[in-house]
């Protein structure tokens, strides 16, 4: 280890990393746009939004391989950081993003991306924040002065290669999940939009829908409730908590395997939060109306979430896909100008066409194995991410030899 690390040298980040590098863009041409919302916490790469015409607007410029990092609170603290891999090869983005790139013959851009993702570096950057409460931003001059012990370029490349093995496998699993979710969504559309469900050929239709299907209010088929937020002034409600507490930002239209935050039993008892049984459907009512999730483990949630549980033997998956397909309708019946929201009372009165019971059960039998596969893949991603996160500081600090 001593032999390997004797060539490692301490530099300031600004000496070894190209910070906010220049990228020439042409006005009137289209490039991928990256804003903070484009970056998914925990995802190594960001591909950007659809092609957008560049008209000289202010903001960051980047090329593939660059790392974009949020500089505003709380996005920086939450880990909004990713390496660019967009179709247009170069592009532009939010003024709230820093851009970092390796310097030729000095630093490897993949190594730089891993370095900037380290909690140690992000904590230091967060300490440099200034500005009004809630809109504070990190200071790039401060970030550039942070000191780090850099290994020689070949060692940087070996470290990045080891970590990329994990990242690439995680991306493969994420793509498999996307494909499975597409398969499930197409099955729903085939059965309940195109009405090509098993036995449709002999089914009697009236006014374009099966005669034995019924329009019912959601409240007739599902119980609804919402959660609560324990007092933030009482830190003991969160310290060493073991009850998962899900926020609307964690509803990603798929399974909920875990949460970022936990509360204590005391926090649960001293708030309107309620335990949610596994297999319940969660739907956001504020700040992005209609985001969905189905919990795999017992958990609780904020008051901004509506929770559905079946009253009878009716598929929770049918409502999941109906709400996902009708998100624009949910937004249209929401209230509020600055921030849209929808109430439980409004949700309960929504009328949905429900299929005949045997069709709903057959749909469940088709959907459940798909989401079981998704659950297994999500668990593998979680395991790989944990292993990678354990390796990252040890490799970057030289405590673990890359050989």
> How far is the C-alpha of 351 from the C-alpha of 77, rounded, in Å?
42
Per residue in 105-151, pLDDT (tens digit) is: 999 999 999 999 999 999 999 999 998 776 899 999 999 999 999 99
H-assigned helices in 119-152: 119-127, 140-145
Q: What is the mean pLDDT of residues 168-181?
A: 95
Q: Residue 137's beta-bridge partner residues?
A: 72, 130
**Predicted local distance difference test score (pLDDT) of residue 102:** 97
pLDDT at 3: 47
Which of 93-102, 195-204, 238-247, 387-396 is predicted least confidently?
Answer: 238-247
CB atoms closer than 10 angstroms to residue 55: 9
Higher pLDDT, 182 or 229: 182
pLDDT digits (tens, 9 = 90+) for 2-46: 446 778 999 999 999 999 999 999 999 999 999 998 998 888 899
Report the interhelical angle of 357-397 vs 153-192 (nearest 10°): 170
Average confidence score pLDDT of the chain:
92
pLDDT for position 287: 76
> Is residue 81 over pLDDT 60?
yes
Pair type for strands 300-301 and 243-246: parallel
The pLDDT assigned to 4 comes to 60
Q: How far apart are CA 371 and CA 176, in angstroms?
A: 12
What is the arrangement of strands in the sheet containing 261-263, beginning at the earlier edge strand?
261-263, 243-246, 300-301
* For the chain, percent of residues with pLDDT exceeding 90: 80
Mean pLDDT of 165-185: 95
Lowest mean pLDDT, pick from 1-5, 298-302, 336-340: 1-5
Out of 130-144, 332-346, 385-399, give the one with best mean pLDDT: 385-399
Q: In what order do the strands lie in the sheet with 30-34?
A: 51-53, 30-34, 90-93, 61-63
- pTM equals 0.86
pLDDT computed for residue 384 by the predictor: 96
**Is residue 231 predicted with pLDDT exceeding 50?**
yes
């Amino acid at each position: 280890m001593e032999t390997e690390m004797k060539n490692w040298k301490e530099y300031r980040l600004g000496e070894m990393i190209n910070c906010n590098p220049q990228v020439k863009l042409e006005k009137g041409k289209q490039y991928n746009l990256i804003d903070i919302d484009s970056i998914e916490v925990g995802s190594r790469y960001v591909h950007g939004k659809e092609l957008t015409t560049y008209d000289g607007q202010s903001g960051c410029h980047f090329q593939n391989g660059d790392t974009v990092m949020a500089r505003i609170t709380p996005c920086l603290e939450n880990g909004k950081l990713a390496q660019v891999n967009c179709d247009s090869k170069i592009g532009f983005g939010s003024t709230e993003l820093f851009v970092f790139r390796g310097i030729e013959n000095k630093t490897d851009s993949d190594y730089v991306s891993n370095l900037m993702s380290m909690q140690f570096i992000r904590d230091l950057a967060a300490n440099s924040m200034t500005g009004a409460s809630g809109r504070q931003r990190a200071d790039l001059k401060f970030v550039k002065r942070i000191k780090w012990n850099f290994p020689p370029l070949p060692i940087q490349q070996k470290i990045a290669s080891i970590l990329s093995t994990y990242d690439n496998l995680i991306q493969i699993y994420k793509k498999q999940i996307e494909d499975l979710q597409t398969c499930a969504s197409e099955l729903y559309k085939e059965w309940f939009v195109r009405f090509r469900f098993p036995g449709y050929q002999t089914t009697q239709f009236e006014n374009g829908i099966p005669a034995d299907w019924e329009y019912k209010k959601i409240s007739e088929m599902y119980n609804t409730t919402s959660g609560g937020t324990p007092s933030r002034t009482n830190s003991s409600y969160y310290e060493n908590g073991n009850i998962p507490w899900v926020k609307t930002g964690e509803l990603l239209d798929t399974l909920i395997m875990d949460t970022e935050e936990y509360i204590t039993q005391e926090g649960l008892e001293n708030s309107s939060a309620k335990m949610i049984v596994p297999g319940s459907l969660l739907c956001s009512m504020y700040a992005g109306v209609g985001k969905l999730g189905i919990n795999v483990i017992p958990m609780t949630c904020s008051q901004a979430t509506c929770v559905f549980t079946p009253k009878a033997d009716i598929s929770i998956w049918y409502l999941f896909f109906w709400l996902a397909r009708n998100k624009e309708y949910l937004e249209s019946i929401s209230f509020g100008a600055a921030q849209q929201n929808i109430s439980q009372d409004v949700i309960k009165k929504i009328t949905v066409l429900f299929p005949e019971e045997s069709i709903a059960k057959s749909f469940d039998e088709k959907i459940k194995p798909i989401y079981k596969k998704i659950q297994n893949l999500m668990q593998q991603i979680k395991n790989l991410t944990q292993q990678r996160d354990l390796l990252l500081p040890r490799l970057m600090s030289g405590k673990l030899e890359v050989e």
